[in-house]
Amino acid sequence: MSFSFNLREQIIIGAALLVLITVIFGVFVFKPQFDKFNDARKRQEQEIQEQNARKEELKNLKDAKKDAAKTEARSLSLSRRMPEEADLPSILVELDNAGRETNIKVLDITPAEAITGSGYSNLPIELKIVGSFFNIADFLYKIVKLPREYTVGTVDISLAEDGYPLLEGSIKLKTFVYTPNSADTNAQSNAQSNTSQSNEKQQEQN
């Protein structure tokens, strides 16, 4: 049995065979390779995303560590400038050392009773000193630069008994003590006072 095809039929059959071969090649050869390439590209993109996420996480951890260090440093600085205890011996030593470093003779250091504020208490201190004008100025500058917080109030100066250039000075300072519970105590006291006043008014009206 023999078949004979004219030229047109031969072209059609050849084209069909070419299409069939192309489809077979695409299904069994090209598609698996394309799928592998596509999977590899997806894995690469996923790895890049994971790597970027790890970098961002590492950056956040470093930033958090820096912020924690800054917060700790600020807290330490605040605790030094406004401690939670008066610690009078340390105050006496600190002020006396400031006098020695500026050639000021500290004759007397007299702390007064602490005055309670909202969240802190201030401790008045009076100093009696002897020194030259410029040394007194250096002494005052030294005080406000001490680790602990001090504010200078009034400064009274007069000529010393030994005469010029020595001067006698009376300096009134304030230092501070951190008392966070005092704010709650003051609020409770005010509330109790307001309640008492309200009750008294009601009794008067009755």
End-to-end CA distance of the chain: 132
Give the pLDDT confidence score for residue 64 in this predicted structure. 61
Give the pLDDT confidence score for residue 191 in this predicted structure. 46
pLDDT tens digits, 135-157 = 999 999 999 999 898 999 999 99
pLDDT tens digits, 11-55 = 776 667 666 677 666 666 666 666 666 676 777 777 778 777 776
Give the pLDDT confidence score for residue 189 in this predicted structure. 46
Decide if pLDDT at 107 tops 70: yes
Arch. (CATH architecture) of 88-185: 2-Layer Sandwich (3.30)
Decide if pLDDT at 129 tops 60: yes
Give the pLDDT confidence score for residue 134 in this predicted structure. 93
Checking DSSP bridges between strand 105-111 and strand 115-116, what pairing results, if any? unpaired
Highest mean pLDDT among 65-69, 162-166, 190-194: 162-166
Give the pLDDT confidence score for residue 80 in this predicted structure. 74
Give the pLDDT confidence score for residue 67 in this predicted structure. 60
* HEC profile of the chain: CCCCCCHHHHHHHHHHHHHHHHHHHHHHHHHHHHHHHHHHHHHHHHHHHHHHHHHHHHHHHHHHHHHHHHHHHHHHHHHHHCCCCCCHHHHHHHHHHHHHHCCCEEEEEEECCCEECCCEEEEEEEEEEEECHHHHHHHHHHHHCCCCCEEEEEEEEEECCCCCCCEEEEEEEEEEEECCHHHHHHHHHHHHHHHHHHHHHHHHHC
Give the pLDDT confidence score for residue 164 in this predicted structure. 84
Mean pLDDT, rounded, for 52-59: 72
CA-atom Rg of the chain in angstroms: 43
